[in-house]
Structure 1
Amino acid sequence: MSRKPQKTSFFLPYQQDWLKDTSRLKIAEKSRRVGWTYVQAYEDVRDAAKDGGMDVYFSSADISAAREYIRYVEMWSRVLHIAAESLGEIVFDSEDDIKALCVEYSNGHRIYALSSNPKGFRSKGGKVVLDEFAFHEQPDEMWKAASPAILWGYPIRVFSSHNGKDSRFYRMVEEAREGKGGWSLHTCTIQRAIDDGLVEKVKKLDRPATEEEKAQFLQECQDIAGDPETFEQEFMCNPLDGKTSWITYSMIQLCEDKTLPLPIVIKGEDIHHIPLDEYTPYLNIPPGTYFLGQDVGRKKDLTVYWLFEKIGNTYFTRYIIELHTVKYRYQFKWLSFLLPHVFRACLDAGGIGSQLAEDAQEDFGTFKVEAVTFNNTIKEDMAITTLRSFQDLSIRLPSSEVVRRDITKIKKTTTTSGNARFEGERDKDGHADRFWAMALGLRAAKGSQIYYQSSRRKSSRR
């Protein structure tokens, strides 16, 4: 086993590995915020300023990253005592009115930091650096424009955190992993960076970081990511599958309210010891405009009741009640307790839910209770309605990890005939039962709006 490079005051081992690799084509999948732009700027200053140097064309996904890069270029020029002149923002291409930040060296060569506009690379020759390539708006066009710039033997550097498996960057990394295209591949997860001394560097420690300090730093990265999928992708180099969640963690978190009650969980065996009337005193349902969704399960899946209250144009989650392996007779008791409080309800009437829905319609009326038999068209309609509720922030739900995971199970796929399908995986926490109960509750609310509009039209005719 080869010995790791020694840590220096400037670079950590993974950064040294990158610098010592003299391959013409280098690509790196990396964690966020591990100092890759910092070390790349050093390499670029060295290449541009040396005898017989070269022009360097740096492009990132946004202008703020370009400015950060130029600051590093200026810093390294001073550290290395290299004469350089910062030209600020110049017109890089007058024909297309493209501007770039620029530093010029005494040998006449320059380092340019551009936006992600592919036109900036047309008819240029020199070293190409593509930062956060997975997040460029037009990666394919950028690659077509930038790759010819190195045909005269110049090097190219491509590095980024991942942005799904549908990106060009992911395909390039996979080619490099398979030994194709002449790429030299580097991988740096946040764990590798921590092992190599990132915590000591960030916290400016003059001693090795303790295991507790390392764990705390890793937890901070997980908190920044916000959800496990994002952490795996942006910090651990594990890109998300192309079939991403229909509703993402970030969308859910924008609609969470920590004051709302967490789900009430009822296990099948509990119902024999704790009758319904011992639960109901804790369910405070004051007068209001309520809507109910129910997704039905018995043994493998859950029965979930999702109760919304409409206030203004926002739907607040008042209760999520989960019944795990509860007998149908007790499920109907819960339904009979909730339905008198609601204006309208949509109940899952497919398969094992048909009798519950039929009995509820008979007892409470067909307007109050809509029996919904799932098919692809209805599921697509509910999925779109639910997505829009998250997009316009008109829904509020509790801050619950199990609810988040359940909602993000839903993926959109397309059949060979071109039809959309919305399905969720089954695991120990259910089969996206909470999502469909929520979607049915929103369907009940939207259906009531149609009823109101229809009633107003009839009244005006009269």
Structure 2
Amino acid sequence: MSKMLSAAEWEQQRQEAMAAMPAVIAEVGLPKVLLPYQARAVSLLDSACPVLFVEKSRRIGLTWGLAAYAALRAGRQKAAGGMDVMYISYSREMTREFIDACAMWARAFDVAAGEVEETLFDQDDADKAINAFRIKFASGFEIMALSSAPRGLRGKQGVILIDEAAFVDSLKELLKAALAFLMWGGQVVVCSTHDGVDNEFNVQIQDILAERSRFAHLRIDFDQALREGLYQRIALVTGKEWSAAGEAVWRQDIIDFYGDGADEELFCVPSMSSGSWLTSPLIEARMTVKTPVLRLELPADYLFRSPRAQAALMEPFMDALSVQLAALDLSPQYAFGSDFARFVDLTTGSLMAVEQQLKRREVLAYELRNVPGDEQKLIAATVLKHVRTRLIGAAFDATGMGWTVAEDMGRKFGLREDPEGSGLVMAVKFSEEWYRLHMPPLKAAFEDDAIALIADADHLSDLRAVKLVRGIARVPALREGETGKKRHGDHAIAVALAHWASRQAWHEYGYEKVPMHGADNSNSVFAENTGDNLHLGSLGAGLVGRIL
């Protein structure tokens, strides 16, 4: 993660970033009053976003930015979208701090506001009255800071800000009460640092990432806040001169202060998050497809054998692949995912049909061990060629040598450079951010019975190998199995890639590439490799011809 950068590495990064900026932008104090991440949150809310969840680092000033929005919203007339704003947190000190910030902003915006006053709001029972702070505006609206008791929201309407939501007494009940505000045009803002993977706040975040919830989402960790000017603003307020070296030292001091809690407190990674990601009963319940998995393992001396001997070793697998492809129903759309390996691990491929009710059904899966790159490209191209007219996306592991397969498939079927591009092939370079964003939707598919996989004991083991590592689902470095046959969650990655590819934006075009007159296209998939020791012999003449 970013926190693993040393103070020296961080200093170098910041010096390079500042050197790349125009001088007028780099000067502290010249940017807008709100830092970029504060401005993004305010902009989202000002564009009528109904519900916003923000997972954030500690003490980055987001509450201060939200106070600006509160003052603007409560200060407006009703015709301009004005309404009451209610602030909830778990401590009296935080509520007072928020009201003070709102009062500062109100004066800065030259909004007519009364003095901050303390009052009591009666509940059904006078003994249950809750303490609150309030600012009244000339617009007739007000900002109120309330306790976290859900009953405090009854009979109220407007914008509700729940700060450090992971630490309130009953977030689930509080959200029930708060979301009722949406019926009459209100807004709900929920922001917090994390407090464990099982906390309701993290449950809500995972539902958003899994697309089971349509709420808006922002994530602001410590390093992002620093890159967007947090320490520069701190230096400005405290009268210090900013420098990359000073920021690096300050950053490291903060990380050292939080110690083992830095991941959760600063980098938005919930704690207490280790163990299997999917249970065996859940995985088995989704393994309802009876198609056999195709497996190919070539001998260590494969490349030293004659072309005819190589073709003989490949032929049974290619025949079985052709049989399975020929049996496919080509009416659904298809998505493909492939995890690359060459020597230690397996290359895996997963082809999924997207059914009418949007259930993803795995219709073909293969595993390759000790299979050279050109043969891997042949197999992948055979699959993609067969479903090309119904293919909406193919995602390839492009980490390390996997890039060569993704690149060659991109030449044949179009390489998509960005999620909105028009190519069919997407090259994925795995990162913690990729896993964080795209594994929750896959888990949701398992939980919602929106995916069906081929029943296979090894694939069950692969999916069980996915662990929560610092709150993020991924395959750990540890390999399982007997020597020489170890597995590394290989098929789980192919499934994740195929599922991800099936969810991307795609564009359909009504044309096929026409060969140039007189050109020899008999081996166009690998034509670029003829100078790189590609000698498939009869394999190239026979098997490659199947896909073109």
TM-score normalised to structure 2 length: 0.42
Question: Which has the larger strand fraction?
Answer: 1
